[in-house]
């Protein structure tokens, strides 16, 4: 890999894409999707991985050349954020120590913040009169989650039914090519709950990790988050509009730790509400009852609202681990107490936020 200090508007996007692919040789899953020239991917895969220090140098050269590149301001601004993330990632790969908060700021372009435990106390109080049964709020929350788990054999059929409702609403929000499609697969032994793999040609494969039980609330949210109008919708629109129609080569690749991913996750986190409104389980209760998945939609709406609010406990847990030096056991107990997570879920959350390639992703 030869480094040229001169960057032009013509080769800036290509060098950015090639840099992303080369960083991906060092980090499994760093490249979320690539729909650009297949020969680039093949040649980089055939070569020996490039020394991370040279990759860092390339990121810095591209950053230095951005202002002089004859590109639209919005493209330069977008590329700057992505390249600053790549600079940080390659510095870490080079062995440089980077504090967690600095990594989040440099990779995602936002400053992580702690959530006061009084916020979680308020969520717990709101759940108290809603979640049925006896015992503490945490015990009843866990029991509701378990009692409303979707059996493994019904996960894909349920996602298929949900797609019937969500897909047309996603098309109304963000027009996509008529031939776009999503398939679903069940997997195991992954640090995440679900993942969207965009395969190009307006197609995605969504993998669902069934190692732990998946409640009806989580499943419905994931259907929107990963597909319609979440990650699949975002990638399909970018493919059709930015890459194919406008010819922006930089839109041919998606990387998992950059401002682009923060925006994508932000859209996905709000996807269910945007598609179905503030009471989404009122909308899907009947269609899921058709495949014998029955639940109380009033309880489900309240449970889901609480679940979304309690996600902030994971960011607090990341602060505890990476900034405060807390022990794993202490962090898992925190997640159980304030995030209302089961023992198994707390352990998986800690595994996720300690995975080197994922740890800065938590605030997203």
Q: What Å distances lie between residue 248 and 44, 71, 237, 243, 310, CA to CA?
A: 21, 10, 13, 5, 38
Instruction: Looking at the structure, tell me whether residues 19 and 90 fall in a common domain.
Output: yes
User: DSSP string covering 23-90, please?
Assistant: HHTTSTT-EEEE-S-HHHHHHHHHSPPPPHHHHHHHHHHHHHHTTTS---HHHHHHHHHHHHHHHHHH
pLDDT of residue 355: 86
pLDDT at residue number 2: 54
pLDDT value for 360: 86
Give the per-residue pLDDT at 106.
97
196-244: pLDDT as tens digits: 999 999 999 999 999 989 999 999 999 999 999 999 999 999 999 999 9
pLDDT tens-digit map of 94-112? 999 999 999 999 999 999 9
CB neighbourhood size of 150 (10 A) = 23
Q: Please indicate, yes or no, if residue 222 is contained in any of the structural domains.
A: yes
* Residues spanned by the domain of 17: 11-98
Query: Structural domain tally of the chain?
Result: 3
CA–CA separation, 260 and 86 (whole Å): 12
The percent of the chain in helix, strand and coil, each rounded to the nearest 5, is 60, 10, 30
**pLDDT at position 191:** 83
| pLDDT computed for residue 58 by the predictor | 97
This prediction has a pTM of 0.93
Same domain, 241 and 132: no
Q: Say how far apart CA 157 and CA 184 lie, in whole Å.
A: 9
Do 142 and 28 reside in the same domain of the chain?
no
- Cis-peptide, bond into residue 229, ω within 30° of zero: yes
Please identify, among 294, 316, 348, the residue that sits at the C-terminal boundary of a domain. Answer: 294
Residues 269 and 176 in one domain: yes
- Answer yes or no: do 172 and 285 share one domain: yes
Its sign, for the CA torsion 90, 93, 97, 102, is: positive
- Do 221 and 187 fall into the same domain? yes
What single-letter DSSP state applies at residue 196? E
Residue 106 located in a structural domain: no
Does residue 4 lie within any of the structural domains? no
Confidence of residue 57 (pLDDT cuts 50, 70, 90): very high
For residues 295 and 271, is the Cβ–Cβ distance under 8 A? no
Measured N-to-C along each axis, helices 259-269 and 100-108 cross at an angle, to the nearest 10 degrees, of 90
Same domain, 253 and 312: no
Whether 338 and 221 share a structural domain: no
**Higher pLDDT, residue 20 or 364:** 20
Last residue within a domain, chosen from 278, 294, 310: 294
Q: 40 and 18 in contact (C-beta within 8 Å)? A: yes
H or E element, residue 208: strand 203-209
Same domain, 54 and 169: no
State mean pLDDT over 342-363: 87
Domain boundary (255, 277, 294) is at 294
Residue 192: pLDDT band by 50, 70, 90 thresholds?
Answer: confident
Query: Looking at the domain assignment, is residue 3 inside a domain?
Result: no
């Amino acid at each position: 890999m030869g480094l040229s200090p001169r960057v032009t508007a013509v080769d800036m996007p290509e060098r950015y894409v090639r840099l992303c692919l080369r960083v991906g040789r060092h980090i499994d899953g760093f490249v979320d999707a690539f729909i650009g020239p297949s020969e680039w991917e093949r040649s980089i895969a055939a070569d020996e991985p490039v020394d991370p220090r040279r990759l860092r140098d390339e990121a810095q050269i591209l950053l230095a050349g951005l202002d002089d590149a004859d590109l639209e301001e919005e493209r330069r601004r977008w590329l700057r954020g992505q390249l600053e993330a790549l600079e940080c990632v390659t510095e870490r790969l080079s062995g440089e120590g980077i504090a967690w908060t600095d990594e989040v700021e440099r990779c995602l372009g936002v400053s992580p913040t702690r959530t006061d435990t009084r916020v979680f106390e308020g969520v717990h109080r709101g759940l108290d009169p809603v979640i049925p049964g006896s015992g503490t709020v945490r015990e009843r929350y866990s029991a509701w989650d378990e009692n409303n788990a979707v059996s493994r054999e019904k996960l894909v059929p349920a996602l298929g039914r949900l797609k019937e409702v969500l897909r047309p609403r996603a098309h109304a929000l963000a027009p996509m090519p008529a031939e776009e499609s999503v398939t679903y697969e069940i997997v195991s032994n992954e640090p995440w709950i679900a993942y969207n793999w965009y395969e190009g040609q307006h197609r995605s494969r969504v993998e669902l990790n069934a190692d732990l039980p998946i409640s009806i609330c989580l499943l419905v949210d994931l259907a929107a988050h990963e597909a319609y109008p979440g990650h699949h919708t975002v990638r399909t629109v970018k493919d059709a509009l930015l890459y194919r129609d406008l010819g922006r080569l930089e839109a041919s690749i998606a990387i998992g730790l950059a401002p682009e991913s923060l925006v994508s996750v932000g859209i996905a986190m709000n996807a269910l509400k945007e598609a179905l409104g503030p009471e989404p389980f009122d909308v899907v209760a009947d269609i899921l009852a058709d495949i014998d998945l029955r639940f109380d939609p009033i309880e489900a709406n309240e449970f889901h609202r609480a679940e979304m609010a309690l996600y902030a406990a994971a960011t607090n847990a990341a602060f505890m681990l990476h900034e405060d030096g807390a022990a794993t056991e202490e962090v898992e107990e925190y997640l159980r107490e304030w995030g209302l997570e089961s023992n198994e879920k707390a352990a998986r959350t800690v595994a996720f936020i300690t995975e080197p390639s994922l740890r800065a992703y938590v605030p997203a």
